[in-house]
Amino acid sequence: MNEKTSFFISRKKHIREVVRDKQLYFMILPAIIWYIVFLYLPMYGIQIAFKDYSVFKGITGSAWVGLKHFRDFFGGVYAWRTIRNTLLINIYQLLTVFPLTIILALLLNELRYKKLKSVVQTMIYLPHFISAVIVAGLVISFLSPEAGIINSIIAMFGGEKIYFLIKPEYFRAIYITMGGWQGIGFGTILYTSALCSIDSELYQAASIDGAGRFKRLIHITIPGLMPTIAIMLILRMGSMLSSGTATIILLYQPITYETADTIGTFVYRSGLIENNFSLSTAVGLFEGVVSFILVLGTNILSKKVGEISLW
Amino acid sequence: MDLRSKGERVFDGILAVFMVIISFLAIYPLWYVIIASFSSSNAINEGRVFFFINEFNLSSYEEVFQTKNIIIAYGNTFFYSIFGTLLSMVLTLLAAYPLSKKRMHFRKLFATIMLITMWFGAGMMPTYINIRNLGLLNTRTGILLHGCMSTFYVILARTFFEAIPEELEESVKLDGGSDWQVFLNISLPLSKAMIATLTLYYFVGRWNSFFWSMILLTDADKIPLQVLLKKLVVEMNANYSQAATIDYSTMSRETMVYATIVISIIPMIIIYPFIQKYFVSGVMIGAVKG
């Protein structure tokens, strides 16, 4: 049998197999159509980053302007401000929320009272399920200069009431605290499940050798958790340019833009509030491409570290 | 017999107290909203509400249930959450099942089409323009369709289907059964835990979503509760901006916001004890597959 006939035979076989599996293709068809229409079709519109988009001329009809919008953005005052704010929020989160999640998971693991432990878990997971709007609403009313509970406490101790949300110097702390309240408890789940998989014989052997609880924590628990920590850290690196746009727009005001305006909020504001579609798309494309590179890089890194890839 | 040393017992005690404090911090904001919504505006205004209801009254709830906008928005939220979740689940399960069959041709291609979108998206404005060009701006259909599939959940479902033994499929096929029959009679019944997990993930996501609903909807009678709440919350913030001009009427508005928040989280609080284990198991499935 020469190559050509074997090619035709295998081709026939393939077609037969496709026909055999036709129901499988019917099943997946709606999803593929959805992906193409709602996620790939919009990519055609990315070209307006290089055009002066006008609603009347449409995507195709608008005039090409090359890199004008990128030059405008990177030449203007907003580029440095938004990139700096985005990175700072992420770095501060990495320095606070990230380790606190691990510490809370370790403490939870040390908790001896089983009933209490499950009650605590139920409570600390809860904030994760509260919507961004409600959380922002809570922050606003708690920090309210008039009747907010924080200011009531400050006043009780004879302090001066502060209107926190109009002070740029407080914004990042407020935002990160809010994110921490919502995320730290739920974030422990992953570490808790990793802790479950540590061999309990190791602990028994260590006890017999006379290792106390603290020694066991240092020599068994934390090393056992290291791979998970490494993976989480690496994955976190992939999202250094993202920030909770939807939440920030609820909390910031022009007076706090100096510290609160991030790449995401700039994309939102320039596009949907100021109707500068092309500039918004250009900045969004910049964010998308850098994030893409970060995710690719971190995925390669995590494969090397833990032999676990993103999928 | 307690083998712990005295120092250890002290440590355990302190840790327990510390954890109780942490739990308190986690739920206190919600507790505050609930008690504030049942307290009088005066009590809140004068900073007398901390741990318990002060000057119990239902006026804010009366106000909420008399505000037509809130009732309509509440209904819309139920509509989007229920039908959106249904649509998401049908599409996700139908996509995940074929992807779990290694014998299918183009399986890699289909998977790649989905996976790429996890890495790169068109961005906010191109997505907005696309929806406008499809004629879905300010429509309920647009809200149901936008973001109705999550690649991550497709992967979760596929992984689950892959773990079902192939012998079960073969026995149905030997009796002349089709792929549909295998899917409906074997795979789905064996995947109840996964289906429950994903349904809850999608539902909570829908229930809490506001960003794209806010962008895509302009008619007041189509917006979900979260978008209406957003308006109330932002207004509240704007009121504080002119702190000097604050008067009694704006404060009564605040208790109304609390009452609206309470009615918006009630369904979540009711199902929370039931969903908790599924959320945890969902994270586990995701974690195992990394």
Same domain as A160, residue A49: no
Instruction: Give the count of domains, chain A.
Output: 2
- Residue B158's φ and ψ, nearest 5 degrees, are -60, -45
Say if CB B90 and CB B195 are below 8 A apart. Answer: no
* DSSP annotation of A40: I
Which sequence spans correspond to the domains of chain B?
62-289
Q: Average pLDDT for residues A47-69, to the nearest whole number? A: 92
Is residue A70, in this structure, part of any structural domain at all?
no
Is residue A69, in this structure, part of any structural domain at all?
no
- Residue A64's φ and ψ, nearest 5 degrees, are -70, 140
Is residue A242, in this structure, part of any structural domain at all?
yes
Mean model confidence pLDDT for chain A: 89
Q: Angle at Cα B270 formed by Cα A127 and Cα B203, nearest 5°?
A: 70
Q: Residue A6: pLDDT band by 50, 70, 90 thresholds?
A: low
Q: Under an 8 A CB cutoff, do B240 and A271 touch?
A: no
Q: Which residues pair with A52 in a beta bridge?
A: A63
Structural Rg of chain A based on CA atoms: 26
Say if CB A288 and CB B123 are below 8 A apart. Answer: yes
Q: Residues of B62-82 as b/e, b for ≥16 C-beta within 10 angstroms?
A: ebbeeeeebebbbebbeebbe
Min Cα separation B267/chain A (Å)? 12
Same domain as A100, residue A47: no
d(C-alpha A292, C-alpha B120), whole Å? 6
Q: Residue A311: pLDDT band by 50, 70, 90 thresholds?
A: very low
Q: B14-28 pLDDT, tens per residue?
A: 999 999 999 999 999
User: The tokens of B118 are what?
Assistant: 């996890």
**Closest-approach residue (CA) in chain A for B5:** A212
* DSSP annotation of A146: T
Boundary of a domain, candidates A64, A91, A107: A64
A&B contacts, CB < 8 Å: 270
The confidence score (pLDDT) of residue A310 equals: 41
Please check whether residue A227 touches B, CB under 8 A: no
Say if CB B202 and CB B153 are below 8 A apart. Answer: yes
Please check whether residue B182 touches A, CB under 8 A: no
Min Cα separation A63/chain B (Å)? 16
Say if CB B127 and CB B211 are below 8 A apart. Answer: no
Q: A73-97 pLDDT, tens per residue?
A: 999 999 999 999 999 999 999 999 9
Boundary of a domain, candidates A14, A31, A64: A64
**ipTM confidence:** 0.89
d(C-alpha A258, C-alpha A270), whole Å? 16
Instruction: Tell me which chain A residues have a C-beta less than 8 angstroms from the C-beta of B236.
Output: 137, 140-141
Q: B94-153 pLDDT, tens per residue?
A: 999 999 999 999 999 999 999 999 888 999 999 999 999 999 999 999 999 999 999 999
Q: Return the CATH fold of B62-289.
A: MetI-like fold (1.10.3720)
pTM of the model: 0.88
Q: Average pLDDT for residues B45-74, to the nearest whole number? A: 85
Min Cα separation B247/chain A (Å)? 11
Same domain as A283, residue A169: yes
Q: Residue A196 pLDDT more than 90?
A: no
Instruction: Tell me which chain B residues have a C-beta less than 8 angstroms from the C-beta of A251.
Output: 237
Q: Which of A50, A104, A42 is nearest to A73 (CA)?
A: A50
The confidence score (pLDDT) of residue B44 equals: 78
Q: Which residue has the higher pLDDT, A11 or A44?
A: A44
Q: Under an 8 A CB cutoff, do A133 and B33 touch?
A: no
The confidence score (pLDDT) of residue B242 equals: 57
Same domain as A95, residue A55: no
Close Cβ partners of A191 (under 8 Å, ≥ 6 residues apart): A101, A102, A105, A106, A225, A228, A229
Q: B66-88 pLDDT, tens per residue?
A: 888 899 999 999 999 999 999 99
Is residue A277, in this structure, part of any structural domain at all?
yes
Name residue B266's amino acid.
I
d(C-alpha A176, C-alpha A93), whole Å? 6
Min Cα separation B289/chain A (Å)? 7
Range of the domain at A20: 3-64
Q: Residue A224: pLDDT band by 50, 70, 90 thresholds?
A: confident
Interface of A with B in 53-112 (CB under 8 A): 59, 104, 107-108, 110-112
Is residue A74, in this structure, part of any structural domain at all?
no
Same domain as A182, residue A41: no
User: The tokens of B80 are what?
Assistant: 């989007």
Q: Average pLDDT for residues A202-219, to the nearest whole number? A: 84
Name residue B37's amino acid.
S
Q: Which residue has the higher pLDDT, A90 or A217?
A: A90
Instruction: Tell me which chain A residues have a C-beta less than 8 angstroms from the C-beta of B240.
Output: 140, 144-146, 163, 165
Q: A235-279 pLDDT, tens per residue?
A: 788 888 888 888 999 999 888 999 999 999 999 999 999 999 999
The number of beta carbons lying within 10 Å of the beta carbon of residue A261 is 22
The confidence score (pLDDT) of residue B241 equals: 59
Q: Is B39 exposed, middle or buried (0-12, 13-18, 19+ CB in 10 A)?
A: buried
Same domain as A95, residue A57: no
Structural Rg of chain B based on CA atoms: 25
d(C-alpha A140, C-alpha B44), whole Å? 14
Q: Angle at Cα A63 formed by Cα A60 and Cα A69, nearest 5°?
A: 110
Please check whether residue A245 touches B, CB under 8 A: yes
The number of beta carbons lying within 10 Å of the beta carbon of residue A270 is 24
Q: B198-236 pLDDT, tens per residue?
A: 998 899 999 999 999 999 999 999 999 999 999 888 777
d(C-alpha B55, C-alpha B101), whole Å? 63
Is residue A189, in this structure, part of any structural domain at all?
yes
Instruction: Tell me which chain B residues have a C-beta less than 8 angstroms from the C-beta of A39.
Output: 117, 121-122
Q: B115-126 pLDDT, tens per residue?
A: 999 888 999 999
Close Cβ partners of A114 (under 8 Å, ≥ 6 residues apart): none
User: The tokens of A91 are what?
Assistant: 């770095």
Same domain as A41, residue A174: no
Interface of B with A in 77-136 (CB under 8 A): 90-92, 94-95, 97-99, 101, 103-105, 110, 113-115, 117-130, 134
